[in-house]
Amino acid sequence: MPDSRFQIDADIRKASTPPSRVYTDPAIYAAGRERIFAGSWQLVGDAEQVRVPGQVHPFTLLEGCLDEALLLTRDDRDGLHCLSNVCTHRGNLVCEHGGVESALRCRYHGRRFGLNGSFVSMPEFDGVENFPSAADNLPRLPLERWGPFLFTSVKPSIPFGDWIGPMRKRIEWYPVDRCKLDATRSRDYLVQANWALYCENYLEGFHIPFVHSGLSDALDYGSYRTELFDHSSVQVGIARGGGDVLSPPSASPDHGKSIAGYYFWLFPNTIFNIYPWGISVNIVKPLGVDRTRVSFLSYVLDSSKLERGAGAELDRVEREDEAIVEAVQKGLRSRLYERGRYSPTRETGTHHFHRMLAEFLA
């Protein structure tokens, strides 16, 4: 059994990066799926998916990783619910297609549930003791909201407010409620690398001048900085020269700065890039020890500002990042590499992430 335990010194000047087995060993990947992802908060979509009362939307939470069959519903009192989509009788999937329903009925033996998940009826169960009980309702998961975004967690390891709070507060002036999904600008990327390599690359701007020549022109590298929170971090990109920028109001700690973009990362795999044109959401979805799907969702606020500044050419930047993390994945298989060291000025976000990885995998 490979050891998933490792130490990352709290002092970045003394610390070494995680051992390469963390990114290459299938058993450590599997341990991370349960210890990191099963307790995490995940974006499940937005309220538009269940727009009218009676609407149901089955989906798989983190397909290829958690594979949890869930169901979003809007009941006839306009309440939103996130339910387990697994029938409490013998485990069939209750709802296979989205649509508008007055109730849920399992097609295996006819058990019925309300749209809030409560058990309603079951044929041929007369005389069954202690039935129905609370265990016969569909398990209900927490459903939380920020702007148009809905989040859930199978068994939350931290309170939602602690997780999202620092980002929500930092940009409380940003009109997140007005951002609308543009499916034509959204796409998935398949990356031949471990999910954590994708995140740790995202978490440092150190590589921007080396890897992203185009993006480098839009950002002032000298004033680029990272701030750390308990379960998240933000990189603040200051614009170089003019163009579209975010101008935070006087109550904001960023007042007076020309912000090209805020790059928020929330443990373990949720990314909100906040630009003048809107929000580029990136969900980093593990598929295997060296395979990752990254879903890009574009929530547009002002389409006249698309394709300008640091939020332009996201596809090019993504391909540049993919090429580099895929090369790192190959490098980590070497017998001649084990761990590296950190830049104390440029890799604080990555070090912070690695500390969390070490804590959850221990």
Near ligand FES by CB under 6 A: residue from 5, 14, 51, 109:
109
> Is residue 71 part of the contact set for ligand FES (CB under 6 A)?
no
> Is residue 118 part of the contact set for ligand FES (CB under 6 A)?
no
* Minimum distance, C-beta of residue 137 to ligand FES, in the bound complex (Å): 13
Pairwise CA distance, residues 60 & 138, whole Å:
16
> Is residue 92 part of the contact set for ligand FES (CB under 6 A)?
yes
Site string for ligand FES, 218-257 (x = CB under 6 A): ----------------------------------------
Which of ligand FES, Fe ion, none sits in contact with 321, Cβ below 5 to 8 A by type?
Fe ion
Angle at Cα 50 formed by Cα 46 and Cα 54, nearest 5°? 160
Near ligand FES by CB under 6 A: residue from 27, 48, 99, 108:
108
Site for Fe ion in 283-322 (CB under 5 A): 321
Nearest to 253 by CA among 271, 272, 234: 234
Dihedral, CA of residue 333, residue 339, residue 343 and residue 349, to nearest 10: 70
Query: 153 and 42 in contact (C-beta within 8 Å)?
Result: yes
Query: 298 and 280 in contact (C-beta within 8 Å)?
Result: yes
| Residue 183: count of CB within 10 angstroms of its CB | 8
- Taking CB under 6 A as the binding criterion, the range among 82-90, 222-230, 243-251, 310-318 that sits at the site for ligand FES is 82-90
Which of Fe ion, ligand FES, none sits in contact with 108, Cβ below 5 to 8 A by type?
ligand FES
Pairwise CA distance, residues 189 & 318, whole Å:
8
Near ligand FES by CB under 6 A: residue from 36, 61, 106, 234:
106
Q: Can you tell me whether residue 317 is helix, strand or coil?
A: helix
Pairwise CA distance, residues 281 & 46, whole Å:
12
Count, residues near ligand FES per rule CB under 6 A: 9
Length of the chain: 362
Q: Which is nearer to ligand FES, 105 or 180 (CB)?
A: 105
Q: Which is nearer to ligand FES, 111 or 285 (CB)?
A: 111
Amino acid at 133: S
Q: Which is nearer to ligand FES, 35 or 112 (CB)?
A: 112
* Minimum distance, C-beta of residue 322 to ligand FES, in the bound complex (Å): 42
What is the distance between the terminal CA atoms of the chain, rounded to a whole angstrom?
14
Contact residues toward Fe ion (CB under 5 A) are 321
